[in-house]
Homo-oligomer: A and B are copies of this chain.
């Protein structure tokens, strides 16, 4: 049998895992500096926790786990007779795989509300699974990194989350633009255009601006029965680039004014911070179908063709669906796999990692192999990453391994080295070779790391 793995999933070799860990560590370090704490939730949730939270399409993309044992015994007999897969599911599967981190987080907050100090600032970096059609950059198993504050209405949180975006991408050396808007500003536009009742239709159309351009958006608005005069107003407002330009349009919209006010408060905090990346107000930012109610954010990488690599916002009622009302949340998400792809495309990986093999010993014969193993123990006792080729086989084979293994230094031991105690330390990148005692090598490599 020739083995394979499921479509849309991936194996990660050493180089990829080390790079992924570098990305995790860089993100985590900033989360921690901002006072966020980690949680982890199970890979499987009760199917009832997940179903109905992601729309009809989401329900179809959920991976469901078959009940163990004789699952047909308790199956819905009517659905079985009718061969109705959709109707049968809930009777043969009670667990689903994590589809995102927001719903499990809301479930966590409700379940543990008596043990959590509010406001609760949590981060979570775990894989999620979606039965999406696999394509370039889209996987069935991928990682999300979410950071949220729940139980605080302060716009200081919004400022901190944008600072987190800025610091993470600064630390990754990946230049980005962070776009900021507010759902109440979008509601203000609908007010100003006299179509408050068509807010969601308008938002969905505006959300497509990047893909279909202004004329496309106008066609979309027409299709959704929005009048030409309303479309004129909307088009005018979408040209605006500052909050001050926006104000005249909202003279009669309370919610629009509130949106501007929230963005000004956001800036009151944020502007005390010196950003590395571009952070800009974008009145056209809509964030599609998500249930945001306040500030919204989206991140785009500079110099790489890649959709958004992060996004988020405030949602006034995070936990209501699980019976805990009136708890506001705000959070942003990092598109881990897309960010990885950006770093890969721009070759922004750090030159070296703590995981690299520092020193590899090779030995000519059984006696030097034993001697080399003793040396190896001393090198490791000093905390240096090192290994010895496990057999004194032909030197050609060992050197091939040394090259593939990408060791920084190599020491070859034979009878001369055993006799003199002088070991030739070879720096693999330069080919430079110098004789040292073992103690000298250890001191050199400790200083060097």
A46-B4, A65-B66 as given contacts; A33 in contact with B384, CB under 8 Å = yes
Binary contact track A111-136/B, C-beta < 8 Å → 1, others 0: 11001111101100001010100000
Task: Tell me if A44 and B384 are in contact (CB < 8 A).
Answer: no
A68-B61, A112-B11, A272-B374 as given contacts; A149 in contact with B33, CB under 8 Å = no
Task: Tell me if B65 and A60 are in contact (CB < 8 A).
Answer: no
Q: Judge whether A64 is part of the interface by a CB distance below 8 angstroms.
A: yes
Residue of B nearest to A357 (CB): B35
Q: Judge whether A325 is part of the interface by a CB distance below 8 angstroms.
A: no
A3-B46, A13-B115, A37-B355 are known; give 7 further A-B pairs, CB within 8 A: A2-B323, A4-B111, A9-B42, A35-B387, A44-B129, A149-B390, A272-B374
Interface residue tally of chain A, by bracket? 35 or more
Task: Tell me if B39 and A12 are in contact (CB < 8 A).
Answer: yes
Task: Tell me if A152 and B390 are in contact (CB < 8 A).
Answer: yes
Please list 20 pairs of residues, one from A and one from B, whose beta carbons are closer than 8 Å in the complex, sorted by A's number.
A2-B323, A3-B46, A5-B107, A11-B42, A12-B39, A33-B380, A33-B383, A33-B384, A35-B386, A37-B355, A38-B355, A44-B129, A63-B65, A64-B65, A66-B92, A69-B85, A72-B85, A119-B390, A269-B373, A272-B370
Q: Judge whether A418 is part of the interface by a CB distance below 8 angstroms.
A: no
A33-B386, A85-B71, A387-B35 as given contacts; A44 in contact with B3, CB under 8 Å = no
Residues of B within 8 A of A115 (CB): 13
Majority SS at the chain A contact face: mixed
Q: State which residues 35-75 of A face B: CB under 8 Å.
A: 35, 37-46, 48-49, 60-61, 63-66, 68-73
Residues of B within 8 A of A172 (CB): none
Q: Judge whether A431 is part of the interface by a CB distance below 8 angstroms.
A: no
Residues of B within 8 A of A33 (CB): 380, 383-386
Residue of B nearest to A371 (CB): B272
Residues of B within 8 A of A61 (CB): 68
Residues of B within 8 A of A430 (CB): none
A42-B9, A152-B390 as given contacts; A63 in contact with B72, CB under 8 Å = no
Residues of B within 8 A of A374 (CB): 272
Task: Tell me if A40 and B63 are in contact (CB < 8 A).
Answer: no
The smallest C-beta distance from A174 to any residue of chain B, in angstroms, reads: 20
Q: Judge whether A182 is part of the interface by a CB distance below 8 angstroms.
A: no
